[in-house]
Chains A and B, each alone.
Chain A
Amino acid sequence: MFEIAPHVETVIIAVLALLCVASLTRVWLGQRHPAGDGLELKQRIRSWWWMIGLLFVVLLLSRNAGILFFACLSYLALKEFFSIVPTRLVDRRVLFWAYLAIPLQYLWIWQGWYGMFSIFVPVYVFLFLPVRMLLLGDSQGFIRAAGVIHWMTMLAIYCLSHLAALLTLPVLNPVAGYLGPVLFVLFITQFNDVCQYVWGKRIGKRPILPQVSPNKTWGGFVGGGLTVTLCAGLVGPYLTGMTWPLALAAGALLAVCGFFGDVVISAVKRDLGIKDTGQLIPGHGGILDRLDSIIYTAPIFFHFYRYFAY
């Protein structure tokens, strides 16, 4: 317990320092503009402290605690999906089975059974859930319900579980330990969200997908993407077993995937006519509002890393 790899320790301290800077800046801004409504920013930063604090404590406890933590994230994400997307009342039992796939999926990861972990949801769950639906005997709305349930299962269970799988890969860089790659993908993805937003505010003009997400601009995408790629090139060799050219490539890949994860969840929300997916995280919205880009980056980075770095 609490055997921290030196590079991970440095990164944790750096992130906490960054949070301190954010909190202090907010206090300073609040004093300069007392009239402004800083409640949302305050909630946002406070939620960041909670999320990052929780993540660090759990990840530092042990590898198994980390796997359990990501299983809980999958559960919360799936619950949020099932609460916002249209499902049939009759499918309650099917949804229950979909939840049961979470412990199994994370069991394979805990066992290190790569073959099973990578096909369990796309093959077995995919084939089983429609059979369970069939037994309910209601074929009205069958296709739509089966499609929705499986898509949600893939995003919330399968994609997110790759974060836990990263914890179980053999350690390539002993000074970064088993936590290095996970922290790398989490922070690069979150940093990418921030960079695309900031660059978008600065130089963004032409929206990429005006009908889905008018705030996403070419300026933000390119500016943010370049910043993140450079940053990944610097941090990659420090936290993972990648060389710097490989880390640069990973950074570019993560920037693109993170962007698409974000807009895919935006499209889901737009289709349903909602702004946030929930109220779980004050100032941020639901858990899916926070995990949207990670849903895309986690599996892509996992396979990129496993294929090129080993």
Chain B
Amino acid sequence: MQRWLKVLFFLLIVKPVIVLVIGLNVFQRERLPRRGPHVLVANHNSHLDTLVLMSLFSWRDLHRVRPVAAADYFLANRWLAWFSTHVLDIIPIRRDGGGSRRDVMADCRAALAAGDIVVLFPEGSRGRPESMQPLKKGVFHLLKESPQIPLTPVMLRGLGRALPKGEALLVPRNCDVAVGEPMRVGRDSTEFMATLETAFEILAEQCRASAWLDDWQ
């Protein structure tokens, strides 16, 4: 039942809206994982990010894709909480530091153990469009005990312009999605974070199609 709710929501609402209003330029779509356990890490500028990332998957694989989302926002009221857990099927995570780090990650580990594709935004929260905040090390801690699980970086560009943080007006524009090569965490957290950041920089080069006047000034 829940599985079909999610598939129908994406097929009937999200995908048509994304085709009409957003329009995606996807680079290296074939690198997306077909099955879990797998972790997808992306930059975060807009509420559209999660929906766009999930829409890239075929409806057959969609029930496996589970975004990690902030409990304080997505479980804020009853309606949003129902939508988040029943339709989006999020893995809620507490940003306020409640619970130890082990607890925070427990749900993600369980999902990975069940063979899901977990979507993570290592910046922690939505930043200003087209600028990345420092990446947090949560991904490393999530995967350090099961280093065989691969992760794939995905660069999203333009969505923060279509619907930035704190805005309700969605302005149509085409957006870029660049999928990177799958990688593994390794032993050293500093080394891994540097590799991940380099991977994002390389992907950002591919999304050069959209220049910004703000950058020119």
Q: Is A31 positioned at the interface, with any CB of B under 8 Å from its CB? A: no
Structural contact, A278 and B174, CB atoms closer than 8 A: yes
- A99 cross-chain contacts in B, Cβ below 8 A: 171-172
Q: Which residue of B lies closest to A72 (CB)?
A: B20
**Contact, CB under 8 Å: B173 / A79:** yes
- Check A86–B169 contact: CB distance below 8 A: no
Binding-face segment, A11-19, A34-42, A49-57, A140-148: A140-148
A286–B211 alpha-carbon span in the complex (Å): 17
List B contacts of A279 (CB < 8 A).
24-26
**A144-B158 Cα distance, complex, nearest whole Å:** 20
Are A274 and B173 in contact, with the CB atoms below 8 A?
no
Instruction: Determine the distance from Cα of A273 to Cα of B23 in the docked complex, in whole angstroms.
Output: 20
Cβ-based interface call for B28 (8 A): no
A273–B209 Cα gap in the complex (Å)? 8
Report Cα–Cα, A22/B56, bound state, in Å.
32
List 13 interface pairs A-B (beta carbons < 8 Å), by A numbering. A75-B172, A79-B172, A79-B173, A80-B23, A82-B173, A86-B211, A88-B213, A92-B171, A140-B217, A272-B211, A273-B211, A278-B23, A279-B26
Our pick among A75, A83, A85, A286 for the contact of B158 (Cβ within 8 Å) is A83
B25 CB to nearest chain A CB (Å): 4
For window 133-170 of A, CB contacts with B under 8 Å fall at 140-141, 144-145, 148
A contacts with B, residue count (CB < 8 A): 29
Give chain B's interface residues, CB within 8 Å of chain A.
Answer: 23-26, 129, 158, 161, 164, 167, 169, 171-175, 208-217
Task: Assess whether A123 is interfacial by the CB under 8 Å rule.
Answer: no
For the complex formed, measure the closest distance between the CB of B18 and the CB atoms of chain A, giving whole angstroms: 12
Residues of A within 8 A of B (CB): 75-76, 79-80, 82-89, 92-93, 95-96, 99, 140-141, 144-145, 148, 272-274, 278-280, 286
- Residues of chain A within 8 A (CB-CB) of B167 are 92
Could you tell me if B213 and A83 are in contact, using CB atoms closer than 8 angstroms?
Answer: no
CA distance A272 to B207 in the complex (A): 12
Are A84 and B209 in contact, with the CB atoms below 8 A? Answer: yes
CA distance A125 to B161 in the complex (A): 23
Of A82, A89, A96, A280, the residue contacting B129 (CB under 8 A) is A89
Q: Which 3 A-B pairs have the closest CB atoms?
A: A83-B174, A86-B213, A279-B25
Give the complex CA separation of A274 and B172 in angstroms: 21
B residues near A274, Cβ cutoff 8 Å: 208-209
The answer to whether A86 touches B171, judged by C-beta atoms less than 8 angstroms apart, is: no
Please count the residue pairs between chain A and chain B whose beta carbons lie under 8 angstroms apart in the complex: 73
B132 to chain A, nearest CB (A): 16
CA distance A148 to B212 in the complex (A): 12
- Which residue of chain A lies nearest to B216 when distances are taken between CB atoms in the complex? A86
Q: Which of A83, A86, A145, A278 has the most CB of B within 10 A?
A: A83
B210–A273 CB distance below 8 A = no
* Least Cβ–Cβ distance between B95 and chain A, in angstroms: 26
Q: Which residues of B contact A89 (CB under 8 A)?
A: 129, 161, 164, 212, 214
Give CA–CA (A145, B217) in the complex, Å: 12
> Chain B nearest CB: distance from A90 CB in Å?
8
Q: Are B214 and A83 in contact (CB under 8 A)?
A: no
Name the CB-closest residue of A to B217: A141
Inter-chain contacts of A280 with B (CB < 8 A): 23
Complex alpha-carbon distance, A145 and B211, angstroms: 13
**A82 contact set on B, CB distance < 8 A:** 172-173
A80 neighbours in B (Cβ, 8 Å): 23, 174
**Interfacial chain A residues near B213, Cβ < 8 Å:** 86-88, 141, 144-145, 148
Closest to A80 in B: B174
Bound-complex Cα distance A272 to B209 (A): 7
Q: Please give, as numbers and ranges, the residues of chain B lying within 8 Å of A76 by CB-CB distance.
A: 23
